[in-house]
Structure 1
Amino acid sequence: MDTSNIGVVFGSLTPPEELTGGAALAERLGFGELWFSEDCFFTGGLSGLTRLLAATRTVPAGLGLASVMTRHPAILAMELAGLSRIHPGRVRAAVGLGNGHWLRQMGLMPERPLTAVTETFGVLRELLNGAAVDRRTSTHEFAGIRLEFPPERPPELWIGAVNERALRAAGAVADGILLSVLAGPSYVSWARERSAAADRPAPPITAFVLASVSDDEQVARESVREAVGFFLRAESHTALVTRSKHGAEVRERIAGLADGEPLVVEDAWIDEFAVAGTPGRVRDRLLELRAAGADSLGLWLFPPERLASQLQRIADDVLPSTA
């Protein structure tokens, strides 16, 4: 594994004013890709992606992911086209359903989620290739829409997928597949198998990873414990959790919680759903995820207030030994 396969995820825990410095440092340290995770209601994905691209020179940067419900695909295509013309060959964007809780907060949950994702993906592809779109989908309407400034090099279009049907759909059409945080080695292997298509090469897979490195293994675990708990509660109904050896225990624990009661996250859960520990342990876990089928890994580094030192520590003490 070389450094081109290890990226950095920016997003909800990075104050907008710190994106420029963080992205520039990540590129200088040799990380191979950058991602911006749009989480409601923190920092906008397109403004965040714009900052990542403007702060760097050559590293590819991706939006991961944009909900097909919160951004009309014609507007999303227009924005991506502009970024692709300004930064040719460096832009990628993953689309997907997004967090169901946030969609319900806005009254935007579709009746047929996977259909909404695949239809929107198809429209985005057409618009970014310069075609006119004149049809109604299950979630949007397009009356003769064509981009005035389509990019000469359309951006890579990825799909963020979790469960089996979405993985199969993504494998059939997407330029890449984005896996959420909590993707342990067994899940990555399962997802790789489900996304294989018979009639085309398998698209690359990037897995987001909650990560922290420290000489004290328990300090590293504590840095990611709250985030692991948050995502376990949000994703307990999905294959990310149900496919895990800890899935039944996690779901039983969550089902027994009273309103407002915090989830107690066991160390074993952190070891399954995150990458946290000494440099050697982090190195071994990254290699496991790569061996399981992840073509690249996007590290979401904790604690967020120590982003620069975590980037430096990963670059100095982890990545040189994974080549």
Structure 2
Amino acid sequence: MRTTATVRLDRPITEAAELARRAEDLGFDGVWVADHYFHRDATAALALMATATERVTLGTAVVSPLLRHPALLASAAATINEIAGGRFVLGIGAGGYEFAAELALPPRRPLGLTAEAVRIVRELYAGRADVSGETFSTHGALRYAPVPGPVYLAGRGPKMLALAGEIGDGVITHGLSGGHIAYVKERLGGPGTAVVLMLDVEIDEDRSRALAALRPRCMAMAGGSYADELIEVYGLDPEEVGALRAALRSGDRAAAERLVTDQMVDAFGIAGPPGLVRDRLAEFAAAGVDEVILSVGGGDLDASTGHLTELAKAVLS
């Protein structure tokens, strides 16, 4: 099982590239960034990371085609892959519920727009895209020879997982229970699609303190938009999830954080001593997970390096 890490783009972009280099030196297999309109630009960061590293894979976890047209995504991904020497993975997801409030974007069908976006990227990589979709259309070709790379889909619900199994090289998903991992693999429909778990980690000998540190970082995962059938698959209580969702949508994040239970933290993160982290990752590997994307605490460059170093000692030794 590959062990990779996230680098947040809430820091100067040159620091993000340096942190990617340090993650490589620590032995991680890959580095991922989220593409968010209120943080530094992901494509610029990835270009710098590509020049600062030699071995690790680089990827977006994830970028939304609602923010970057799929033709632009195809070009950006091929360009970064060219710089990185074939080490780039394009992770695509429809995006969060906050888009409508923060960007005034009309709601779209995530399944349809994701399928159209991946089709455009694939066709442009193959030579020319001729797509007339409900959300995206493209008629033309890239004016250079692209360096194609793998495309992963972000997915939680049964239909998106099935789509990932049909058209994706991998799926990036959330949910750490054995039942959820089995649910994902069953709906992917075959062994050809990589299963990638994305999760937060807080290492602390005091488990109560670690749980408290992870509550705000697991809040959106537990209270976000996903199929109701997944609530029990995650091992959560529907009434508790409903209350958290309502608090999140009201905008009262302090109230929402108080509603994040220990079970919710354990459903989407690992909180506790190094031995617990190692044991959980071993469970994922035994269940057939191909890769984990681990996110640790932030801070300045030295603090972030310290978190990554602590994580590497716990899981890579």
What TM-score does the superposition give when structure 2 sets the normalisation length? Answer: 0.89
The correspondence for 2:22, drawn from 21, 25, 32, is 25
Residues 37-52 of structure 1: pairs in structure 2 closer than 5 A:
37-52=34-49
What amino acid sits opposite 1:140 in the alignment?
F
By how many angstroms is 1:292 displaced?
A: 2.8
Q: Give me the identity figure in percent.
A: 25
Quick check: 288-297 or 206-215, which moved more? 288-297
Are the counterparts in 2 of residues 93 and 157 from structure 1 also a CA contact under 8 Å? Answer: yes
Are the counterparts in 2 of residues 70 and 108 from structure 1 also a CA contact under 8 Å? Answer: no
Partner residue in 2 for 1:194: 187
Aligned residue for 2:56, secondary structure, equals coil
Are the counterparts in 2 of residues 223 and 303 from structure 1 also a CA contact under 8 Å? Answer: no
By how many angstroms is 1:110 displaced?
A: 4.8
The correspondence for 1:206, drawn from 180, 191, 196, is 196
By how many angstroms is 1:245 displaced?
A: 1.8
Distance 2:151 2:77 in 1: 10
2:123 counterpart of 1:126: yes
Cα distance change on mapping 1:73 and 1:256 into 2, 3 Å: closer
Partner residue in 2 for 1:167: 161
By how many angstroms is 1:250 displaced?
A: 2.7
Partner residue in 2 for 1:139: 135
Partner residue in 1 for 2:295: 300
Distance 2:225 2:131 in 1: 34
Cα distance change on mapping 1:271 and 1:314 into 2, 3 Å: same
Distance 1:176 1:14 in 2: 28
Distance 2:188 2:63 in 1: 20
Quick check: 72-81 or 303-312, which moved more? 303-312
Dislocated runs of 4+, deviation >6 Å? none
Instruction: Please report the RMSD computed on the Cα atoms of aligned residues, expressed in angstroms.
Output: 2.3
Partner residue in 2 for 1:216: 206
Are the counterparts in 2 of residues 12 and 37 from structure 1 also a CA contact under 8 Å? Answer: yes
Unaligned 5+ segments in structure 1 are none
The correspondence for 2:65, drawn from 64, 68, 73, is 68
Partner residue in 1 for 2:264: 269
Unaligned 5+ segments in structure 2 are none
Distance 1:308 1:272 in 2: 26
Distance 1:160 1:230 in 2: 15
What amino acid sits opposite 1:163 in the alignment?
G
By how many angstroms is 1:156 displaced?
A: 0.9
Are the counterparts in 2 of residues 11 and 39 from structure 1 also a CA contact under 8 Å? Answer: no
What amino acid sits opposite 2:171 in the alignment?
I
Cα distance change on mapping 1:39 and 1:252 into 2, 3 Å: same
Are the counterparts in 2 of residues 224 and 303 from structure 1 also a CA contact under 8 Å? Answer: no
Are the counterparts in 2 of residues 279 and 317 from structure 1 also a CA contact under 8 Å? Answer: yes
Partner residue in 2 for 1:84: 81
Aligned residue for 2:234, secondary structure, equals coil
Aligned residue for 1:159, secondary structure, equals strand
Quick check: 264-273 or 167-176, which moved more? 264-273
Are the counterparts in 2 of residues 224 and 302 from structure 1 also a CA contact under 8 Å? Answer: no
By how many angstroms is 1:26 displaced?
A: 0.6
